[in-house]
Every structure is written in structure tokens, then in C-alpha cells.
């Protein structure tokens, strides 16, 4: 699983995923403190995450094990919107 920051949306008028009304996000992989790494992925959003929010992203075969994505061409999916990240020395990120 990855932590990422929602940087925008991706619109594709032609898709092969067979997911009616699917919403895709442009997500920048980030540190536990919410700093972007410069690495981006496209993620199927099933939670309604907004721009600037930190999300938990599941990738690969795990991304295809939800009710929405089962047996679909999905490589990354939002599985959580992060409120806080705690590390040994305290709060690393707060929404």
C-alpha cells in the first residue's frame, strides 16, 4: 500500500475498464509527512477523495479485490482517506 496526495483528476472519454461513471485521480506518491516524491500514479477513486487530500492506495492484484474493481482492468484504487499519520515521535501528518 502507498500513501499519496491527490493532485488532480484524469479524464478519458474512451476506456476499456467497463466501470460506469468511474472517476480517476492523479496521485503523487508521498512521505508519511505529506511531502510529494515527484512520482505519480493514476488511481481509480471509489471514495470521493478531493484534491490535496492524502489517500491510501492499493496496487496490483489487491486493487482488483473490491466489489467495484473485481475482475476489472484496475491497477490502483483508493482504499482510504487519511486523517492522521502517527510516527514514533508524534504526528507526522494531520488533515
- Euclidean distance between CA atoms 69 and 19, whole angstroms: 8
**Structure confidence at residue 8 (pLDDT):** 98
**Structure confidence at residue 17 (pLDDT):** 65
Round the average pLDDT of the chain to a whole number and report it: 91
HSE, side-chain direction, 13 A CA sphere, residue 17: 21
Q: Which helix (H) or strand (E) holds 92?
A: strand 90-94
- Residue 63 confidence (pLDDT) above 90: no
- Euclidean distance between CA atoms 45 and 57, whole angstroms: 9
Q: Which CATH class is domain 2-13+20-94?
A: mainly beta
**Structure confidence at residue 77 (pLDDT):** 93
Residue 25 C-alpha cell reads as 485521480
Q: What is the pTM of this model?
A: 0.89
- Euclidean distance between CA atoms 91 and 95, whole angstroms: 11
Count of Cβ atoms closer than 10 Å to residue 57 Cβ: 22
**Structure confidence at residue 20 (pLDDT):** 74
38 or 66, higher pLDDT = 38
**Structure confidence at residue 60 (pLDDT):** 84
- Domain borders along the chain are 2-13+20-94
Amino acid at each position: 500500500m502507498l500513501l499519496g496526495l491527490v493532485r488532480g483528476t484524469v479524464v478519458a472519454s474512451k476506456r476499456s475498464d467497463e466501470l460506469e461513471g468511474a472517476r480517476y485521480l492523479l496521485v503523487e506518491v508521498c512521505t508519511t509527512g505529506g511531502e510529494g516524491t515527484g512520482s505519480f500514479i493514476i488511481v481509480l477513486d471509489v471514495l470521493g477523495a478531493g484534491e490535496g487530500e492524502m489517500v491510501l492506495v492499493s496496487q496490483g492484484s489487491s486493487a482488483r479485490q473490491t466489489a467495484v474493481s473485481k475482475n476489472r482492468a484496475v491497477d490502483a484504487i483508493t482504499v482510504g482517506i487519511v486523517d492522521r499519520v502517527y510516527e514514533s515521535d508524534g504526528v507526522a501528518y494531520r488533515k
